[in-house]
Structure 1
């Protein structure tokens, strides 16, 4: 079977939107699964529905990558977005034609600089992993290319500046706080390191817009079942080793001035990209609702006998507990509009019920101590401060976390803390070594003793949680219930 390119796609009879030729308006550092299922999908829809008429030129961020394969397919690839929308199964296929080519800067740095000088270029997108936005002293102006991504970007911007071109919008997608501002800071450090002229510094900071962004879409990245992949290829009429898979839900929150919405092609296209003055509330929304829901119910649900997130959404008790926690205890502590928060929470339920993803509870349970501290404790403390009472579901989530880390402890090994759940099987708790050693040392404590020891461990929580009025006694009582009557009973008690 022939491999995907424009000729093969035409012969296959594909009747979806395709844009073969357009100016390269986007330079994208990163050619991996995430950006191709996320940003490039949005640019592709903008070409179809907003008349963007722009191509994305990909820059391979590391020495080994997908350049040859992408160019062999003339930038084309098949994207499947799968999941659940308002309880309805969704499985959408789209051939993405927004990508023009991929450049390997480790062999064709001149092509990157040529693109930098282009009058068509408007946007730079990056996703170079959390470690990508760093300032290092190994990067030099005359390297081909410079070592770090911010150094590469500095060199690209300098080339653009000396060519007399206008500034660009930089959309940083790396998973760090204030990613755009941190990237801009690194660029300014290289201007200092390389002793570039003051006019360039002024141009960088006044003519270019560095935007911090929040990205949210789960991207498994490939069809994992060989038989399904073979069947899809037969149905499509072509082979596509660049096939990408993402969840149906997706949102891109971009921090910037309101006029940026007019410069970017997304609002008119109707894609889930929004421009806001401050991305922080949206990050808080994601952490406390999406991530907080996971950490809030997963330890208890695992002890109750479940293994997969989707199955938990079909248990009325666990689903009711999760929703009570989100709608009654978490959402009231957040700064955004109530409807926005509730819509996001409803989407979370759909995402957890994704029929295409078997998300294992044990994988989510990794490092639950730091996760509860970052995702659930702020909601818990804000609720207590605002209401003057304990939030029942979040209190239960803390007790369930403790129960998960102490369920019939069997051994402490190099792999982790071996525990046993009520259905009989052993499981391995993974966390910082100090946390595992703490729980092992307290394996014979009574519920009251264990809860007191956990709550007073300030290395874990940064504070003494016994100072929260009534929390210690309530959590100890719930831990007793979990150990004697089961986690589902503790969840049920929150719904009474």
Structure 2
């Protein structure tokens, strides 16, 4: 099998996501290509990958279509790994292989960044865009075609940001106008949106799993069954993910899908976290088993979030998948962890749904405003992890000042005062359970 893909990133996520997708394509005789993994940092993971000749097992477990799923797959799509810090010439040699056509990256949110200290003479450049520029220049010198580049980092416009920084390095390092034109002409930097919870190496469970496998696996990975990959562009003829039955969407614009994910999946975490914690519920799964909290979640989604997204079939289906994912018995997702930096999360994930609902209906979405009241009450009385200035301000000031503080919310929320005040009074008078019951009426 020819090596056709270079992957920047040795971690659990891509091995539980894109690498499995390529494995599916190969199984169905739709691709016939393997992946060379390149370490973006000086990681020992390359040694583990090469020791196992790229082979590893992926366990998919969770709820799918209302049924519990537990499926073990051997992934054979990875051929080897290269560490450019130890073998820079071997890294550059990959650029001379005409069969290589695709680049996939996940170098964390901070990976796509411009480091002005990087020099072309570095072996390698410390930043990922710097390494990629060195690699592409080697490709250009050998008069070969460019790449389809699929950036999976969790930042907005990930592909275009990567392209921008590569062009900046080409200019900074004076690699020539012809090279910059070749970058633009011969390469496609695609924005993508990825969605799958990859839980990684299952510490504490390996003894029984290895017994079932009949071998040890230092690269063992675990993930939920659900997956979504939205890619700007259409290369289905080359990468026939849809034909293979994978939930991959080729689109002209990732933004609507990002909006859906942020408001439905991430938003649900944010508006459910403090009602759950105030009820003494510690995990997402426990909230889904709690009839009252589950009803509150459904009310928020069905009456407040989905209408502001147009109630499309796609959004409704996605919301249904979120409920299954939250109920996954194999993932113990702690609300305390989710509560980290909730002020900025509420501002980005929930507040836009409140304002859109207000525009559409001329009234406020009570369940979402109630979740804000729960946030404020929790911040006033419990230990939280957030910007100390935010926490201090909420604790020391009255409700009107808190809501009108634009540094907290990005805008003046004074128009929410009466409803938040009513919700807080209900919680104090009726208790959290009684107050939620009133919202559900």
TM bin (shorter chain): over 0.9
- Are 2:388 and 1:433 aligned? yes
Residue of structure 2 in register with 1:75 after alignment: 54
The secondary structure found in structure 1 opposite 2:91 is helix
Residue of structure 2 in register with 1:229 after alignment: 206
Residue of structure 2 in register with 1:241 after alignment: 218
Q: 1:187 aligns with which of 166, 176, 180?
A: 166
Residue of structure 2 in register with 1:299 after alignment: 274
Shift of 1:50: 4.5
> What do residues 352-388 of structure 1 show as CA deviations (whole Å, max 9, x unaligned)?
0010011111111111111111110000001101110
The secondary structure found in structure 2 opposite 1:204 is helix
Shift of 1:478: 0.9
The secondary structure found in structure 1 opposite 2:236 is helix
Shift of 1:452: 1.4
Superposed structure 1 runs of 4+ greater than 6 Å apart = none
Query: 2: CA distance between counterparts of 1:357 and 1:218?
Result: 9
| Correspondence 1:46-445 to 2 at 5 A | 46-225=25-204, 228-256=205-233, 258=234, 260-334=235-309, 338-406=312-380, 409=381, 419=382, 428-442=383-397
Shift of 1:267: 1.7
Unmatched runs of 5 consecutive residues or more in structure 2? none
Shift of 1:486: 2.1
Shift of 1:182: 0.4
Shift of 1:440: 2.7
CA contact (8 A) 1:403 1:483 kept: no
Query: 2: CA distance between counterparts of 1:34 and 1:457?
Result: 38
Q: 1:461 aligns with which of 409, 414, 419?
A: 409
The secondary structure found in structure 2 opposite 1:221 is coil
> What do residues 164-219 of structure 1 show as CA deviations (whole Å, max 9, x unaligned)?
21111000111111010000000110111111122221111011100011111111
CA contact (8 A) 1:403 1:482 kept: no
* Deviates most, 134-143 or 109-118: 134-143
> What do residues 1-21 of structure 1 show as CA deviations (whole Å, max 9, x unaligned)?
xxxxxxxxxxxxxxxxxxxxx
* Deviates most, 385-394 or 340-349: 385-394
> What do residues 15-51 of structure 1 show as CA deviations (whole Å, max 9, x unaligned)?
xxxxxxx100000011111110011011111111242
Query: 2: CA distance between counterparts of 1:71 and 1:97?
Result: 13
Q: Structure 2 length normalisation: TM-score?
A: 0.97
Residue of structure 2 in register with 1:478 after alignment: 423
Query: 2: CA distance between counterparts of 1:298 and 1:136?
Result: 37
Residue of structure 2 in register with 1:492 after alignment: 437
CA contact (8 A) 1:295 1:372 kept: yes
Query: 1: CA distance between counterparts of 2:137 and 2:395?
Result: 56
Query: 2: CA distance between counterparts of 1:130 and 1:231?
Result: 34
CA contact (8 A) 1:172 1:212 kept: yes
Q: Structure 1 length normalisation: TM-score?
A: 0.87
Query: 2: CA distance between counterparts of 1:51 and 1:276?
Result: 21
Query: 2: CA distance between counterparts of 1:87 and 1:482?
Result: 34
Residue of structure 2 in register with 1:415 after alignment: none
Q: CA RMSD in A?
A: 1.3
Query: 1: CA distance between counterparts of 2:179 and 2:302?
Result: 50
